[in-house]
Structure 1
């Protein structure tokens, strides 16, 4: 198999987008990005220091407090956001390709989440802010009270590598709509594509300081979380990192939303239509090579149909096409990094050492000598207490656990520190809905799992605090202010 790589393209990004301009870094550390499918050099990005973060935050503060952004009307912000969306849409195909080269995402999925979704989110929140009443006057015993929704302030947005463009815009779009300014810290693993946002912001004419972008590691990310001029942190990443960020935000009395990890369950009921279930396996259980926080990597199957469910899942995994993520026929690309590959292989070792039964996969594909590829893997007969059933693997690995009745299925599904995604598979939708309501999770599908950008998204338990997407997300970036006034102001 030949994996395409455009070595003639200079993808180096050695400057940061701060205060509306591309500026030289204050440090010298860099990150060499390697193409996930070939392990070949893809580009070099500078890594920010605490000083770079400080410059970005101060630019965002000036844009909010002294610049035009803090005085814009919703209509003016919406117009700027639509220009931003247009500039991103024009770059969509190239952006999707770059992300696939960075993190191994199959190109069809990347086109949707990295090429199209960012512009769609900007347009959606532009529409919402134009129709949301930001002030209302209420009668009070002393006259009247003006209740207004004001921007929360400067937002520090920290995003991971698995859906870099979509997850960044899930924070940027509602923040801009609310009138906030943003400092974005993308992950070094996808250090190159984040700067497309800066290019598009310049083309759209966003005022200086409204959006700032600094790629940095964890240490400088901590500086963003703790910066005294930041008002809110919006984070997507691991539960372990979320606990640290949440603790610091609590210490500082700083607002935060945390979208964290998952170990979700797909509950297959005894009346399931297996063809429907198999048709939904890609989105529900293997999406983005398993590098998705919502994947239902625990499949719960009724004992009465256990053998046929195991065989159906195993056959699906065997038929997945592993290879170049830029090939539209490929359904499973590589892991995003060598570190992620090693993590997944470590869990495969744990699975083989347990009492679970390896049905298919379990290692690296024999026919691919380059790239961070893992075979789609299925473990059956898995005790839900095993580490492979409790810990987030973030690779194309699923476990299958038997159960006796619906009550036991719900108990096993809820026996997890996480609560982010899930699904129920049945020919009786009313039964499926009733069971879905009993699962402690932020999102769950009945006979399919496909994220709805217009509905709130987030987790329960260790999967996070707060919600992104839908009109509910705007509330994360707005503060209520009550202004006590005289009765004369009731009509204004």
Structure 2
């Protein structure tokens, strides 16, 4: 039985304080369908308080004026505390969104720690100021903190995404209002405790759980200098539209429909072992999930059989059970969405190779079986629209040119992979696919390099020096000749 977690105050400007509104967010377990916690629902007046505190901290406070080493020391304490409390964080997230606990430990909690660690590495060596010879004389180019950041994060990987925004913002001297999703706000209160104990100055961080209406108010706030958003394409477009009223800078990390391409010479056992966890990761609720698998017609039958067997063998159950590989979806609406797409796929003529409904013996909870469709055409809705559930398409292709065309025939361009006996040839194939990240004979996300998407998968980059630069303004200072 999960212990009921109730919070009565909001974290505004570094202090726990009573909310100005009366709303409450009830957090429901996707496994038991029972309430497991509650937090205050931030209102617009709470947003005004948080933005005012952040403005004071940035415009007048010490944080942006500390040395880089001093800011690194604080962020390092945050990272270290996450490492110490990683099991608590993992359990909190799995209880809220259904992530398998083993995956939450590695990707949700320790993954967030790795984001902070990588950002610290990048920040140490970043060129914040450099002299250049201009066309008319010497110039000094500076990179300065962007200011007050509204970080709007989703429910699927909340701590990982929070770290992706907090780490570069804090290290470069900005202040942050973190807006967690109403489906998964509990872990953000652990993060607030950690940040307070780490010694963040007054005003530098606020945590405001809220719905879309209050989120839009935050994004539209004239006191915000930058919005960092992760979520759906539709919501991302709305964020860009609202932020444009104030010409507020935005970075958007949005959806994906990524292709895992198995070339004819691939080691099938290795390819299946790599693709299955990448396709059904986090119960299929991951923007980078490899949800289109492209198989050569010459090997289609054996690939279909191997993938169906591996997906069908995934252990489905209680997300807090360490043996679970696939947990419930975050909400009943997500379960209905996946089941609707399974029906649509059948109506379109695709064939269910494994799964296709609710798992036997799990009548309670928002579960959907790991489902693999075969005989999928890339024009079908199940191949074109992001389902965000454990539903994967197997698409046959004739030759490599057709495989590349299918991989690129998508409104998304976030991730992808190729599986081949020839790594150099795999790199050549990768160069032809228009996505922000790509993998050859592996699936990973390296936080020292840039992450983001082409097309509808987003705007801007996270991680690496490219991600750090998204939180900096560039200034040119002209110097007199001979200086």
- Call closer, same or farther: CA 1:285–1:141 in 2, change over 3 Å: closer
| Counterpart in the other structure of 2:75 | 81
Pairwise CA distance, 1:14: 2.7
- In structure 2, what is the Cα distance between the partners aligned to 1:113 and 1:285? 15
State which of 354, 373, 381 in structure 2 corresponds to 1:379.
Answer: 373
* Deviations 1:8-31 (CA, angstroms, capped at 9, x unpaired): xx4112321111111111211212
* Deviations 1:393-442 (CA, angstroms, capped at 9, x unpaired): 11111111111100111111111100001111111212211111111111
State which of 322, 331, 341 in structure 1 corresponds to 2:335.
Answer: 341
- Call closer, same or farther: CA 1:138–1:444 in 2, change over 3 Å: closer
**2:318 corresponds to 1:297:** no
- In structure 1, what is the Cα distance between the partners aligned to 2:363 and 2:94? 19
| Counterpart in the other structure of 1:40 | 34
**2:433 corresponds to 1:439:** yes
State which of 327, 350, 353 in structure 1 corresponds to 2:344.
Answer: 350
CA RMSD of aligned residues (A): 1.5
Q: Is the 8 A contact 1:20 1:207 kept in 2?
A: yes
Q: Is the 8 A contact 1:142 1:486 kept in 2?
A: no
| Counterpart in the other structure of 2:250 | 256
Pairwise CA distance, 1:140: 5.1
Gaps of 5+ in 2: none
Normalising by structure 2, what TM-score?
0.97
- In structure 1, what is the Cα distance between the partners aligned to 2:191 and 2:202? 14
Map 1:91-170 → 2, pairs under 5 A: 91-139=85-133, 144-170=138-164
Q: Secondary structure at the match of 1:100?
A: helix
| Counterpart in the other structure of 2:232 | 238
| Counterpart in the other structure of 1:6 | 2
State which of 341, 366, 372 in structure 1 corresponds to 2:360.
Answer: 366
- In structure 1, what is the Cα distance between the partners aligned to 2:109 and 2:251? 25
Q: Is the 8 A contact 1:284 1:448 kept in 2?
A: no
* Deviations 1:309-362 (CA, angstroms, capped at 9, x unpaired): 111111111101000122222111110111211111111121122211111111
Map 1:272-311 → 2, pairs under 5 A: 272-311=266-305
- In structure 1, what is the Cα distance between the partners aligned to 2:132 and 2:445? 38
Bigger mean CA deviation after superposition, 81-90 or 55-64 = 81-90
Q: Is the 8 A contact 1:87 1:203 kept in 2?
A: no
- In structure 2, what is the Cα distance between the partners aligned to 1:348 and 1:61? 48
Q: Secondary structure at the match of 1:372?
A: coil
Q: Is the 8 A contact 2:119 2:463 kept in 1?
A: no
Normalising by structure 1, what TM-score?
0.95
- In structure 2, what is the Cα distance between the partners aligned to 1:440 and 1:132? 28
Q: Secondary structure at the match of 1:257?
A: strand
**2:220 corresponds to 1:265:** no
Q: Secondary structure at the match of 1:443?
A: coil
Map 1:405-444 → 2, pairs under 5 A: 405-444=399-438
Aligned length: 483
| Counterpart in the other structure of 1:396 | 390
- Call closer, same or farther: CA 1:448–1:127 in 2, change over 3 Å: closer
- Call closer, same or farther: CA 1:20–1:304 in 2, change over 3 Å: same
Map 1:198-209 → 2, pairs under 5 A: 198-209=192-203
Q: Is the 8 A contact 1:113 1:165 kept in 2?
A: no
State which of 33, 46, 50 in structure 2 corresponds to 1:52.
Answer: 46
Pairwise CA distance, 1:142: 6.5
Bigger mean CA deviation after superposition, 104-113 or 455-464 = 104-113
- Call closer, same or farther: CA 1:63–1:318 in 2, change over 3 Å: same
| Counterpart in the other structure of 1:180 | 174
Gaps of 5+ in 1: none
Q: Secondary structure at the match of 2:470?
A: helix
Q: Is the 8 A contact 2:449 2:464 kept in 1?
A: yes
- In structure 1, what is the Cα distance between the partners aligned to 2:394 and 2:114? 36
